[in-house]
């Protein structure tokens, strides 16, 4: 398939817009439309009561916007990490960045910091993500074989998992622990305008940093030395991507929990359409991530099961086999 890059971006933008509108129209669970409350957007618009407005402003808009923001962040962060580590398997969830962000956010919850200052929640997530990216980059940044990268990811995931388990273990209140566990599964349900206000600007800052580094990722595909000889400031580029990724993933995970594999699947599907250009892939992956997460969030609301499926559960169910398939493909390539 061959379509121009501009057309691809346009297509992604239009799809994202359509899905965004659809997301605004749908209630949090399609089954409960049997109930009495107004749910679909049309009903809401015909209804002048405060409840209708409240539902739209307090629930639907934050949910759809967060799906858009977090999806774009995860897609962008995935493509950025792949450019940075020069490995198509580098993905925030797989290599433990999301897990560390979750740990940071959990700590902000647990210590009560998040109650005193709500901003502590995304900042905790960003701190966790930043620590993970820095460790990962120092281990696998230079000449990362796939094995080193994945082993580093396993180790970081294990450490983050162990510490999170410790926090849950020490939690005096079983209900609080329960809440944290559910939150970690990753979902957009019941997120408020406050969450969007807290995390949105931080994610946007991450996008800007990553996109500033975008042109340099092209030269970096020839390796650090050649990139430097072509006038690229390699250190600055790497720092922009590291901090940008931490902002995107950290702030996103802090409000939605861990939604894995978006950053793996999206760049993989779009890479060919961007002619393998790592710079173009960044922009396209942001659009693709937003599209995917909006669609997945609509899907979880439409699947008729009693309890709402968590978004993170769905992306993991679909993404993990895909991950296995990619490893398999790479293995045959490397042989």
Partner 1 sequence: MAVAKLTASAIQCHLGTQLALNNISLTAEPGQLTGIIGTNGAGKSTLLSVLAGVQSNFRGHVSIGNKQLEQMTSNERARHIAYLPQNPQVHWDLTAQQVTELGRVPYRRRFNWLGPLTAADQQAVTAAMAATQCEDLAPRPIQSLSNGERMRVHLARVLAVKAPIILVDEPTTGLDPYQQIHCLEVLRDEARQGGTVVMVLHDLDLAARFCDQLLLLHNNQVLSHGSPAEVLTPAHLLTAYRIKPPAGLAFNGLNLANWEKQTD
The residues of the shown chain that bind partner 1, judged by CB under 8 A, are 5, 86, 214-215, 218-223, 225-226, 228-233, 275-280, 283
Which of 63, 86 has the CB closer to partner 1? 86
**C-alpha to C-alpha distance for 284 and 288, rounded to whole angstroms:** 6
Burial grade of 161 (CB within 10 A; 0-12, 13-18, 19 or more):
middle
Q: Which two tokens stand for residue 335?
A: 């042989």
Residue in the structure block whose two tokens are 């965004």: 20
Q: Which two tokens stand for residue 105?
A: 């956010």
Q: Which stretch of DSSP H or E encloses residue 320?
A: helix 311-334
CB of 59 to partner 1, least distance (A): 36
Which of 28, 221 has the CB closer to partner 1? 221
Which of 48, 334 has the CB closer to partner 1? 334
Which of 210, 220 has the CB closer to partner 1? 220
Which of 23, 232 has the CB closer to partner 1? 232
Q: Which two tokens stand for residue 95?
A: 């290599």
Which of 61, 234 has the CB closer to partner 1? 234
CB of 207 to partner 1, least distance (A): 15
CB of 74 to partner 1, least distance (A): 21
CB of 99 within 8 A of CB of 93? yes
Burial grade of 205 (CB within 10 A; 0-12, 13-18, 19 or more):
middle
CB of 161 within 8 A of CB of 129? no
CA atoms within 13 A on the CB side of 17: 6
Kindly tell me the sign of the dihedral angle through the C-alpha atoms of 22, 13, 209, 101: positive
Which of 217, 315 has the CB closer to partner 1? 217
CB of 243 to partner 1, least distance (A): 19
CB of 228 to partner 1, least distance (A): 5
Could you give the angle at the alpha carbon of 142 between the alpha carbons of 138 and 145, nearest 5°? 100
CB of 147 to partner 1, least distance (A): 16
**C-alpha to C-alpha distance for 230 and 222, rounded to whole angstroms:** 10
Which of 86, 191 has the CB closer to partner 1? 86
Q: Which two tokens stand for residue 315?
A: 């992306």
CB of 225 to partner 1, least distance (A): 5
CB of 264 to partner 1, least distance (A): 16
Would you mind telling me the total number of residues written for the chain in this entry? 335
**C-alpha to C-alpha distance for 29 and 162, rounded to whole angstroms:** 34
């Amino acid at each position: 398939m061959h379509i121009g890059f501009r057309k691809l971006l346009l297509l992604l933008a239009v799809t994202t817009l359509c899905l965004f509108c659809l997301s605004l129209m749908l209630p949090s669970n399609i089954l409960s439309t049997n109930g009495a409350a107004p749910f679909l957007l049309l009903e809401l618009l015909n209804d002048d009561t405060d409840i209708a407005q409240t539902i739209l402003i307090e629930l639907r808009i934050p949910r759809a916007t967060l799906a858009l923001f977090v999806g774009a962040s995860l897609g962008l962060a995935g493509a950025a990490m792949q450019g940075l580590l020069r490995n198509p398997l580098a993905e925030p969830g797989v290599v433990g960045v999301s897990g560390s962000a979750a740990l940071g956010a959990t700590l902000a919850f647990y210590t009560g910091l998040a109650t005193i200052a709500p901003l502590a929640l995304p900042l905790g997530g960003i701190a966790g993500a930043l620590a993970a990216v820095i460790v990962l980059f120092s281990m696998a940044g230079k000449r990362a074989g796939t094995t080193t990268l994945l082993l580093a990811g396993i180790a970081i995931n294990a450490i983050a998992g162990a510490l999170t388990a410790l926090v849950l273990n020490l939690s005096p209140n079983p209900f609080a622990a329960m809440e944290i566990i559910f939150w970690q599964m990753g979902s957009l349900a019941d997120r408020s305008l406050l969450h969007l206000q807290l995390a949105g600007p931080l994610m946007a800052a991450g996008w800007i940093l990553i996109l500033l580094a975008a042109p340099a990722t092209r030269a970096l595909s020839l390796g650090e030395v050649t990139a430097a000889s072509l006038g690229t400031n390699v250190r600055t580029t790497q720092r922009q991507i590291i901090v940008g990724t931490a902002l995107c993933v950290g702030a996103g995970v802090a409000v939605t929990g861990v939604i894995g594999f978006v950053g793996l699947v999206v760049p993989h599907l779009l890479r060919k359409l961007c002619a393998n250009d790592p710079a173009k892939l960044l922009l396209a992956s942001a659009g693709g991530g937003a599209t995917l997460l909006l669609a997945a969030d609509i899907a979880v609301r439409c699947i008729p099961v009693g309890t709402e499926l968590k978004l993170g559960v769905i992306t993991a169910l679909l993404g993990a086999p895909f991950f296995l398939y990619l490893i398999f493909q790479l293995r045959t390539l490397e042989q």
